[in-house]
């Protein structure tokens, strides 16, 4: 099966083109595409409106193949973290966060991360490889299947392992497929500030929402915790974002991880509000998710400091919310994904 061409990761048009020599009627390829993309079929046997002999023939010629779930762990808050094994033995993690009939899937774009932010476990573990479109989409497909039940709204965030805008070719294909089923306004791509990638995203016809990992109100401190800021400085990043095309009602999200005694003062909040003035934006204030193994010197501020920081932003006219990450008890929260071995608490 793994040696056969995989239909996952292809758009509807590409699936129809691949299947054209294998079907007797042109509309059959479109039927298969709908089953895979719209109905999330895991195999040809589910395609009840296709003749049985055609399903058997397709199964011998092409595959519908998703990453394998090595393990799944549930957080006390109901989040589910999945460890996926890829075809070459690499592994990545994804997180599903359900709220009633709404679900958010946090998806990885690389099997590691070379950006090296000093407050992120994925970055501390080092670079991996780019994921192929089928490996990106497969996380979504598997987690959607596992979620079960009646889901009315799906949100997808590329905030898992890796820097999405260092994998634009495969990310672009994945977005093309996803937007056949999910509205672009329900998809968010988060970046540490890769300027060529932001320009690439700006040029797309169907643009997802953009989130920027900012984390400091000045270049010196940002470069200290985010080495990528040395290559793409803060002033250049903000200049690029002021040019970014935004659909009506959309804003750029700035993610700001609060680190005790480093970037969490009242003065820092005022400087941040001033820095973002004129950019349609909102700030997600994210208290640091601590990790005693990889960055034991970094700590989360007291809750009073977190609330004060958000309040100062509000008083300065900046939209801001405090985002208390879900899944922290099973290392599924922002900045905690490892992907190389099950975290403590995984079901064996």
Task: Write out the catalytic residue numbers.
Answer: 93, 334
Question: Who contacts 25 (Cβ-Cβ below 8 Å, separation ≥6)?
Answer: none
Strand (E) or helix (H) holding 17: helix 12-19
Strand (E) or helix (H) holding 237: helix 234-242
CB 289 within 8 A of CB 323: no
Question: Who contacts 1 (Cβ-Cβ below 8 Å, separation ≥6)?
Answer: 63, 65
Calpha distance 263→205 (Å, rounded): 36
What sections of 95-193 are H helices per DSSP? 121-125, 133-147, 168-178
CB 81 within 8 A of CB 327: yes
- DSSP letters along 87-129, please? TTS-EEEEEEEEETTEEEEE--SBSS-SS--TT-HHHHH----
Q: Which of 272, 207, 193 is nearest to 236 (CA)?
A: 193
Calpha distance 304→302 (Å, rounded): 5
Calpha distance 228→50 (Å, rounded): 50
The SS3 call for residue 209 is strand
CB 37 within 8 A of CB 12: yes
Q: Which of 108, 74, 127, 135 is nearest to 329 (CA)?
A: 74
The SS3 call for residue 123 is helix
The HSE-up count of residue 150 (CA atoms within 13 Å, CB side) is 0
């Amino acid at each position: 099966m793994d040696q056969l061409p995989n239909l996952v990761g292809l758009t509807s048009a590409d699936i129809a083109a691949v299947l054209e020599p294998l079907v007797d009627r042109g509309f059959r390829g479109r039927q298969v595409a709908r089953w895979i993309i719209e109905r999330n079929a895991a195999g040809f046997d589910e395609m009840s409106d296709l003749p049985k002999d055609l399903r058997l023939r397709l199964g011998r010629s092409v595959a519908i193949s998703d990453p394998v779930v090595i393990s799944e762990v549930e957080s006390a808050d109901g989040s589910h973290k999945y460890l996926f094994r890829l075809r070459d033995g690499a592994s990545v993690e994804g997180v599903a966060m359900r709220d009633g009939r709404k679900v958010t899937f946090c998806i990885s774009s690389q099997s590691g991360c070379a950006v090296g932010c000093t407050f992120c476990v994925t970055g501390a573990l080092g670079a991996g490889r780019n994921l192929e479109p089928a490996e990106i989409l497969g996380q979504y497909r598997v987690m959607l299947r596992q979620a079960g039940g009646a889901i009315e709204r799906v949100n997808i965030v590329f905030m898992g392992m890796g820097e999405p805008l260092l994998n634009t070719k495969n990310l672009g294909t994945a977005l093309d497929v996803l937007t056949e089923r999910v509205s672009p306004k329900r998809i968010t791509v988060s970046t540490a500030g890769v300027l060529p990638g932001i320009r690439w995203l700006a040029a797309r016809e169907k643009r997802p929402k953009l989130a920027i990992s900012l984390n400091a109100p000045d270049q010196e401190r940002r470069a200290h915790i985010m080495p990528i800021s040395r290559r793409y400085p803060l002033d250049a990043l903000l200049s690029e974002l002021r040019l970014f095309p935004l659909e009506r009602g959309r804003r750029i999200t700035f993610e700001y991880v609060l680190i005790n005694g480093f970037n969490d003062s009242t003065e820092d909040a005022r400087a941040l509000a001033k820095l973002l003035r004129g950019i349609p934006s909102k700030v997600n204030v994210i208290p640091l998710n601590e990790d005693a193994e990889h960055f034991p010197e970094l700590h989360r501020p007291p809750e009073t400091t977190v609330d004060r920081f958000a309040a100062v932003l509000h008083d300065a006219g900046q939209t801001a919310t405090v985002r208390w990450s879900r899944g922290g008890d099973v290392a599924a929260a922002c900045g905690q994904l490892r992907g190389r071995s099950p975290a403590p608490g995984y079901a064996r």
